[in-house]
């Protein structure tokens, strides 16, 4: 029974990885389409701030997808969740949110919450990197 559950988990993971690859491909196509559309509308080759923010948001969304795909691939190969990659995805997602939001429309509490989230993720990332560097090398 345990072997069948592992096989089921493996099949689902591969299906998820395939679907994630399709989503990343479509998001990349959407990013390219937005870029061409924005550059080709008058005034040519000039982008407004809102268009730049939309493009940067889409770019970061594609990066999030790539990082998630990498995390799933790492899980398939090593059977471990790569915590550093998960925190990296969270940091990119928060950065994307910060880039596309209008701070004037948010309350002070929300802005403080976002700042606390950035600080917490940064400290977590630093601690993970530091602990990885302090581990003795694997000599086998």
Question: What is the pTM assigned to this prediction?
Answer: 0.73
Specify if 13 maps to a domain.
Answer: yes
In Å, what is the CA distance from 25 to each residue of 2, 61, 135? Answer: 35, 11, 37
For residue 139, being part of any structural domain is answered with no
Residues 112-130: tens digit of each pLDDT: 999 999 999 999 999 998 9
User: Do residues 74 and 85 lie in contact, with contact meaning Cβ atoms separated by under 8 Å?
Assistant: yes
Number of domains in the chain: 1
Per-residue confidence band for 8, with pLDDT thresholds at 50, 70 and 90: very high
Give the tens place of pLDDT for each residue, 19-63: 999 999 999 999 999 999 988 888 888 888 888 888 998 998 999
Q: CA geometry: angle at 99 spanning 98 and 105, to 5°?
A: 65
- 96 assigned to some structural domain: yes
Range of the domain at 42: 2-134
Q: Does residue 140 sit within a domain?
A: no
């Amino acid at each position: 029974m345990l072997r069948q559950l592992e096989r089921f988990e493996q099949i689902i993971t591969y299906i998820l990885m395939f679907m994630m690859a399709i989503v990343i491909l479509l998001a990349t196509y959407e990013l390219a389409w937005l870029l061409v559309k924005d550059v080709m509308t008058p005034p040519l080759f000039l982008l407004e701030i809102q268009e730049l923010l939309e493009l940067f948001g889409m770019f970061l969304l594609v990066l999030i997808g790539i990082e998630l795909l990498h995390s799933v691939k790492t899980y398939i190969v090593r059977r471990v969740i790569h915590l550093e990659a998960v925190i990296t995805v969270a940091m990119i997602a928060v950065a994307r949110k910060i880039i596309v939001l209008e701070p004037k429309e948010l309350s002070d509490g929300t802005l403080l919450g976002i700042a606390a989230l950035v600080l917490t993720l940064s400290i977590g990332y630093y601690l993970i990197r530091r602990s990885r560097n302090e581990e003795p090398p694997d000599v086998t």
